[in-house]
A and B are shown apart, each in its own frame.
Chain A
């Protein structure tokens, strides 16, 4: 029992210690961000590997999520003779929730894990220490461009996901199930609000992008520099990111639509 309490205390201390380190790290990274803007080439390279290379999985998932939503929505709505509202159901689900959340989870799995593994391996092979000894701050040179690239890419990827999801729903609903095309679009137009729905979705994706990228670069930088350490950090990035995305989604939804 005493051991259990002791373990709990130790775990608590370790948690807050890590949290403190992560916050200091975030602060240092933010200080390094302006320097990246002066050297856009570093940023462009990272935008490619973080953003562009994540496109295929985002596109594919977006289309399929939209198609499934249309199928499920149609089956429920048709009982009430309300299948004309299919466009609203698909659009609201995707723009408010699934777009930012699923993109956040996929982004953590595709780009976040890659960031952690890359930075962790750079640490394990002494590349970061080597940079420090060459009087180049690795936080400015390596971390800041990746952080900024993730922060920029994630909302854009979420927007692409949402747009393609709506088209996926259109393809199944209008193309296969025979919902009226005019109803699909016009109901969506009248019921989806730019501020309440679209902007709130964008805010979510910005927050998720920030948190997932932060977790990914911190886990990489803070890794135990061995192959086992890097693999653990990569796993942690995906797990913590998923928790953070789902938890924050609840908090943000409560704040935005709760009262």
Chain B
């Protein structure tokens, strides 16, 4: 495995230098900024349920940022807001200097071509095989000749270690393989950023390890900006540069994984260390136990 990654690292080296050149050219421009995604005063509610209640976030360019929090805190919703699939009730979201919710359909689609998103289920198209799934965005958005599409697809599949699985149908893939194919598809158009929605959920240790390494490696080798939404604290903290912890609609903690490990906040500590009881109680709110039993 490690040897494989070393070889990949070498293979990617030309891409890295290319990307570095691109980035230095970009940073020379006036619009360039170190922050790729800027979220200010984000409010969002579903019916009566408030999901975000004044969230400020900065996702730095070229880094791997994790957004963690207990289940049901709207982490996936946050990714959909960044991708423009949902509109916030209040506040602003900027991606690469563009205000997402104010973009017209054409500009939004233009922006989405530069974003990749990895869904929890992989979201592979079930009527296409692995090869055609990875080729899908290339065929939809470019007029490249079929021979070149083949080369590109095989390169992307090689990067995730599944070149040999190109003829399989999505139903024949394990969960971890499906996510790697989806990852190959997400990088098919060489995006500037990738958003991962719970990439480690339900993975066995081996595919978990492969994914963890792959996400970090792709981020560095391709010069991407990565956002990982997850509640797998150990795995995510191990590879991320910066962590935000969200709970009950607010950012309750942020910092490098090391700094968050030493936090004073009881809530953050409970989450990071996975303690069963604490500020988030073990018991669902109910009336007094004795009273409940006696009033049968």
Contact = CB atoms under 8 A, between A and B. Distances in A.
A196 interface: no
B123 A129 contact: yes
Contact of B120 (A122, A126, A137): A126
Given A137-B109, A141-B140, A132 B85 contact: yes
Interface string B75-93: 0000010010100000000
A131 B136 CA distance: 10
A12 interface: no
Interface stretch (B49-57, B111-119, B237-245, B263-271): B111-119
Contact of B123 (A126, A135, A136, A137): A126
Contacts, number: 54
A223 to B, nearest CB: 16
What range describes how many residues of A lie at the interface? 10 to 19
A112 B285 CA distance: 46
B62 interface: no
A127 interface: yes
Interface string B29-68: 0000000000000000000000000000000000000000
Nearest to B195: A133
Nearest to A125: B121
Contacts of B140: 134-136, 141
A130 interface: yes
A136 B121 CA distance: 19
Given A134-B136, A135-B141, A126 B112 contact: no
A129 B80 CA distance: 9
Nearest to A141: B140
A130 B112 contact: no
What range describes how many residues of B lie at the interface? 20 to 34
- In the A-B complex, the 8 residue pairs with the smallest Cβ-Cβ separation, listed nearest first, are A130-B123, A135-B112, A126-B123, A135-B109, A133-B117, A135-B113, A126-B119, A134-B137
B113 A129 contact: no
Given A133-B83, A135-B110, 5 more contacts: A125-B126, A126-B123, A133-B117, A136-B140, A141-B140
Nearest to A121: B126
Contact of B125 (A127, A132, A135): A127
Interface in B132-163: 136-137, 140-141
18 contacts: A121-B126, A122-B125, A125-B123, A125-B126, A126-B121, A127-B123, A129-B119, A130-B117, A130-B182, A131-B125, A132-B112, A133-B115, A134-B137, A134-B140, A135-B109, A135-B137, A136-B140, A137-B109
A129 B148 CA distance: 27
Given A127-B126, A141-B140, A133 B85 contact: yes
Contacts of A121: 126
Nearest to A126: B123
A136 B117 CA distance: 13
Interface in A128-160: 129-137, 141
